[in-house]
Structure 1
Amino acid sequence: MELSDQDSSSASASVTEEELEGDMDEEVEGEEEEEEDSNDKHRSSPAPSLSSFSSSLRAVIRIKQKYQAMKKRRQELALSMGGAGGLTGAPSRTSPKIFTFDPSAFPALTSSVAQKKKKRRRRRVLFPNSGGPRAPPKQEQSRAKYCLYLLFAIVFIQVYNAIENLDDHVLRYDLEGLEKTLRREVFGQQGAVEGLLSHLKDYLSTYVHNKPLVVSLHGPSGVGKSHLGRLLAGHFRSVVGETLVLQYYVLHHCPQEADALQCARNLSTIISEMVERAEEEEKIPLFIFDEAEHMHSEILDALWQLVASKQSNEYLNAIYLFLSNLGHAHITKHMLHNSSSISMAMSASGRHSNLVKELTPILRNILEKLHLLWTEADILPLGLLEKSHVMECFLDEMTREGFYPDHSNIERLAGEIQYYPAVGGHEYSQTGCKQVVAKVNLL
């Protein structure tokens, strides 16, 4: 409340002062107008006189007296207002005796003005000297982006060169020629041929490996296991050399079981020499073990040590191919019992994929019980041959021997082969193409 009374008293004092100043200004202006009128009259006279000078002096004195009277009257009015405020308990107002524009006399006014100035300063927006609103800054492109582009280009070139090198490494082994040979001379096993070629392409696409390639082909007698091994051996001899291909027949190289330990040592020595030679020539050797079902446990142990243990890099860059009739009874039984469910429109690769999918777990369980070597191998089952496949075998053998390929004669010879009872439109041979050569030689 004290602050509000003080403000009201100060406001009323400022109002009276403004009124007094306005009256004083009006009187002064009136005196000045009169003086100007008198001066105009004197100017209109042709020559100034002493009386005109004395009248102007008197006007000045009179203006001064009026100003002093007005000033005195204003002071008395201020004193009277101060006394009235003291009676009501309001603080007395002290005003300067001399009119001044000192800002310290009006603290509230100065504080409000200062706040307004601060607000104006805060709202002020500075623009460049060029004038107009400032344009948004342009985003500068980082130089690191060009380094990133360069890195992408280098990586692309490296990958492209690596792919080219892989292609060159595969071309060295001429897998396309091998595929053509196997498709032309292996009958009824197109699915197995595709699986074998897939393993070879994946492995031969590079020279550095973390394990050797071990493939085990299983099937009944006469389905083309040994024939497939001979074709692979002949092809690899032509591309990597005679010294880097080994065909090992257990019944020929180690017929006596008493010599199994010495045979295992000799086999390990031969394999070590071949892999060292292949490492020097930067090639991959091929080891083919036919009739693996007759291999002694000592030989299997030696081979398992070479396949499973990571002795050095040269032992990792090798291909081991095992050919055997282990599990042939399960393959025969599966094909005879499931032939009716196999669609005739299904391709050979489709039938073989189903055969591998269903027979691989069964064969693996049987083989792993025989020896640990089969745990490191990729198993590929070979199916039974049909009568049409046997006729193709007769045609190929008669052409090789120089006989005229008479279709009626071929059909007659194929009819002399023993077959299983027809199942689902399929007539499978019991001996495959095993008797084809003997029958052609009798012609």
Structure 2
Amino acid sequence: MKSAHLCLWLLVLSTVTELVSAFDPFSTAWSSIISNFFYKGCEDKLVAFNSSGLEDSLQTKLFGQHIASKIILKTVSGFMNNDNPKKPLVLSLHGSSGTGKNLVSSLIAENLYKEGMNSDFVHIFMSDIHFPHVSQVDTYKTQLQQWIKGNVSSCAQSMFIFDEMDKMHPGLIDSIRPYLEHYDKLDGISYRKAIFIFLSNAEGSSLTETALKFRNAGRKREEMELKDVEKLLLLSAFNNDNSGLWHTSLIEKNLVDFFVPFLPLEYSHVIECTMAAMKAQGLQLDIYIADKLATDMVYFPESEPVFSKQGCKTIGSRLHFYMEDV
């Protein structure tokens, strides 16, 4: 009889969850809470994190980002090797489209979860999709809090990725501030092992100007350090009303661990991306094709066209077009 009652209860919960999901895109938080009540957490779906694996991924898949690679490797490795972090890891990635921000998010996930970005514990928010209407910001704040609380309850090492921060409504991201603080627990839940990653294109032009200044001064790109751009990113994110972090308490309370710069990519980096794409797709490496593809890309600024307008974003889809000409 008890078994029959339990089956009936599970059926009711499942039905309610499905009904709510049909009307509320954030209702998966309820599913996570229910799942946590009846099933195991995420321990068996995590990988044994190895910093050398992340290092290898960054070296072979991310190009032209010496500052970002160093920050990501050290901060993520340090965080994952700390059994008792004082707060969640919060990274804010800045740069133009195609420079590697989404790629880095994927590399972190691949070295943390067995299913990588397909893991149930990786949660991606797109501003245009999940937060489209400014008139509903208060509703979004409540939903976002419920989502994070529900999923961290299910897996302490959940990852939350906020893409297109430059399109997020001002003030919305402040709703998650309590979960980024140095609290041991909040309403009985610890958020200290969670990872929050913000992706923004807003500061791309500022990074381009800095890269051009280094180039015109005769200095190598690799000489640029975090200190040369971090303050610029912080101030720009805080003062730009299109950054998603405009006047946010996350910056005022120093809850963002690093503002990570992704520099505009040059011709040589496009070549490296193309060769890596060939290898990933099982194609024969051909420097002639890589050169042809890289040369045909659009470069900017007009006065000194040295940076790829699209970065490496379209290389995967362009590659077979050039391979057909061989």
* TM-score, L = length of structure 2: 0.71
Shift of 1:225: 1.0
CA contact (8 A) 2:60 2:276 kept: no
Q: How does 1:202-241 map to 2 (within 5 A)?
A: 202-238=78-114
Change (3 A) 1:355 1:271: same
Contact persistence 1:336–1:423 (CA under 8 A): no
> Shift in Å at residue 251 of structure 1?
2.3
3-state SS of paired residue (1:376): coil
Corresponding residue number in structure 1 for 2:10 = none
Shift of 1:365: 1.5
Matching residue within 163, 172, 191 for 2:67: 191
Mapped contact 1:246–1:286 kept (Cα < 8 A): yes
- Where does residue 238 of structure 2 map in the other structure? 368
Q: In the TM superposition, what are the counterparts of 1:92-107 in structure 2 within 5 Å?
A: none
- 2:316 and 2:122 map into 1 onto residues whose CA distance is 26
SS at match of 1:237: coil
Does the residue aligned with 1:385 lie in a helix, a strand or coil? coil
Matches within 5 A, 1:383-398: 383-398=263-278
Matched, 1:300 2:173: yes
Unpaired segments ≥5 residues, structure 2: 1-46, 240-245
- Compared with structure 1, are the counterparts of its residues 186 and 396 closer, same or farther at alpha carbon in structure 2 (3 Å cutoff)? same
Deviation string 1:141-179 (CA, Å, 9 cap, x unpaired) is xxxxxxxxxxxxxxxxxxxxxxxxxxxxxx932222122
Deviation of 1:185 after TM superposition, in Å, equals 0.9
Matched position secondary structure for 2:143 = helix
Q: For 1:53-85, what per-residue CA distance to the aligned partner results, in whole angstroms no more than 9, with x for missing partners?
A: xxxxxxxxxxxxxxxxxxxxxxxxxxxxxxxxx
Give the counterpart letter for 2:274 in structure 1. Answer: F
Is 1:336 the counterpart of 2:209 in the alignment? no
Q: CA deviation at 1:309?
A: 6.7
Q: How many residues align?
A: 263
Query: Structure 2: how far apart are the matches of 1:179 and 1:252?
Result: 33
How many angstroms apart in 2 are the aligned matches of 1:405 and 1:278? 41
SS class of match (1:329): helix
SS at structure 1 position matched to 2:139: helix
Conserved? CA contact 2:79–2:89, under 8 Å: yes
Match of 2:160 among 281, 287, 293: 287
Judge conservation of contact 1:332–1:384 (CA < 8 Å) in 2: yes
Displacement after TM superposition at 1:321 (Å): 1.1
SS of corresponding position for 1:405: coil
The one-character-per-residue Cα deviations of 1:317-344 (angstroms, maximum 9, x if unpaired) are: 3211111112211111111122133544
Equivalent of 2:144, from 267, 270, 274? 267
Name the CA distance, whole Å, in 2 between partners of 1:258 and 1:309: 31
The AA in structure 2 aligned to 1:190 is H
**CA 1:261–1:418 in 2, change beyond 3 Å: closer, same or farther?**
same
CA separation of 1:305 and 1:190: change in aligned 2, threshold 3 A: same
TM-superposed CA distance for 1:180, in Å, is 1.1
Rounded to whole Å, the distance in 2 between the matches of 1:343 and 1:272 is 47
Change (3 A) 1:404 1:202: closer
Determine the C-alpha separation between the residues in 1 that align with 2:134 and 2:296. Answer: 38
Counterpart selection for 1:411 from 291, 300, 303: 291
Say which one has the larger Rg: 1
RMSD across aligned C-alpha pairs, in angstroms?
Answer: 2.9
**Is this contact kept in 2: 1:289–1:323, CA < 8 A?**
yes
Secondary structure at 1:316's aligned position in 2? Answer: coil
Q: Which runs of 4+ in 1 moved over 6 A?
A: 421-424
> Which sections of structure 1, spanning at least 5 residues, go unmatched?
1-170
For 1:243, the equivalent position in structure 2 comes to 120
Within a 5 Å distance, the mapping from 1:344-383 to structure 2 comes to: 344=220, 348=222, 351=223, 354-369=224-239, 370=246, 371-374=248-251, 375-377=254-256, 378-383=258-263
| AA at the equivalent of 2:236 | I
| C-alpha spacing 1:177/1:401, structure 2 compared with 1 (3 Å) | closer
- Contact 1:264-1:298 within 8 A present in 2 as well: no
* Alpha-carbon distance, 1:422 to partner: 10
Do 2:67 and 2:226's aligned partners in 1 also have CA atoms closer than 8 Å? no
SS of aligned partner of 2:263: coil
Q: Within 2, Cα distance between the matches of 1:235 and 1:245?
A: 12
Q: Distance in 1 between matches of 2:127 and 2:197?
A: 14
Q: Does 1:276 pair with 2:146?
A: no
The answer (yes or no) to whether the contact 2:67–2:261 under 8 Å persists in 1 is no
Distance 1:342 1:221, change over 3 A: farther
Code of the residue aligned with 1:288 in structure 2: it is I
Summarize the Cα distance change of 1:396–1:209 in structure 2 as closer, same or farther, 3 Å threshold.
Answer: closer
AA matched with 2:273:
C
Say yes or no: does 1:200 pair with 2:76: yes
Greater RCO (Cα-Cα under 8 Å, separation 6 or more): 2
CA distance in 2, matches of 1:332, 1:437: 24
SS of the residue corresponding to residue 112 of structure 2 reads helix
Deviations 1:225-258 (A, max 9, x none): 1122222233322189933322222223333333
Contact 1:233–1:247 (Cα < 8 Å) also in 2: no
For residue 398 of structure 1, report the CA deviation from its aligned partner: 3.2
In structure 2, distance between residues paired with 1:180 and 1:403 = 21
2:276 maps to a residue whose letter is D
